[in-house]
Amino acid sequence: MRSFESAVDGYDVLGVRISAVNPLKAEAVIADMIARRAKGYVCVAPVATVMDCQKDPDYRVLVNNAAMVTPDGAPIAWLGRLAGHQDVRRTYGPGLMEQLCDHGRALGWRHFFYGGTPEACTQLERVLTARFPGIDIVGKLSPPYTPQAMPLAVDVARLINAAKPDIIWVGLGAPKQDFWNVINRPVLEAPVLVGIGAAFDFISGLKPQAPGWIGSMGLEWLFRLGCEPGRLWRRYLIGNTVFVWLLVKSIFRRGR
């Protein structure tokens, strides 16, 4: 699982190992995994993922064992540059997905979507096919809702493997999607599993996506909070505050 540890430099954010990448470097890592058929899973890490890792040591181990953990949030990328990795840039999950769907056309990459609602999967396929003619989408599956990640039924794993995808995009929301990737990694033949959060809804247009300039300023959380206050207030108002407090504490301890 950790075959890319030596190839992808990284930095520590509150005990979470973030890969020192930008969108182009992240694409190169995934392209190498596909070319070598080297099985692994990729996590995208906004502040919320780092905070989830503080509450759940098992989740932190899972994230730290990923082939790559992208700095999905601008603050996570800023911390990378402060740590001396000047090439680190925000590597936003939906943007990375669109980038790989685009550039993968010339390489014949095969994509499979797992997660979301049937409407989201159908609309996602429609949008990506229109935007990137020639993209090879070999399957999509919207599973019934479960509160926790579950092992795939044997027949479902066979169905996915029969489609021979190079990348399986898993849109179950974090941390569930990352646990799903670990649980099902042994039975899936695709080299790359990517937990992609709400990208299905964003790219399909079912949920509004913050403009790029808002994300680059580190304010996407505020945009999303305005769109879904009832669901996200705890994650952002409490989680972000605790994140800053923990960072201050860690800096103080290192300076003693």
| Residue 90: closest CA among 6, 20, 8 | 20
| 256: helix, strand or coil | coil
The domains of the chain are located at 10-212
Structure tokens at 95: 């943007």
**What predicted TM-score, i.e. pTM, was given to this entire model?**
0.90
d(CA 27, CA 51): 26
Beta bridge partners, 110, equal 136
With left for phi above 0 and alpha for psi between -120 and 50, is residue 84 left, alpha or beta? left
Positive or negative: CA dihedral 50, 121, 68, 150: positive
Give pLDDT tens digits along the chain (256 positions): 344 444 589 999 999 999 999 999 999 999 999 999 999 999 999 999 999 999 999 999 999 999 999 999 999 999 999 999 999 999 999 999 999 999 999 999 999 999 999 999 999 999 999 999 999 999 999 999 999 999 999 999 999 999 999 999 999 999 999 999 999 999 999 999 999 988 999 999 987 677 776 767 677 766 667 777 877 767 777 878 888 888 888 776 765 5
Q: Are 96 and 26 in contact (CB under 8 A)?
A: yes
CA dist., res. 45 & res. 19, Å (int) = 10
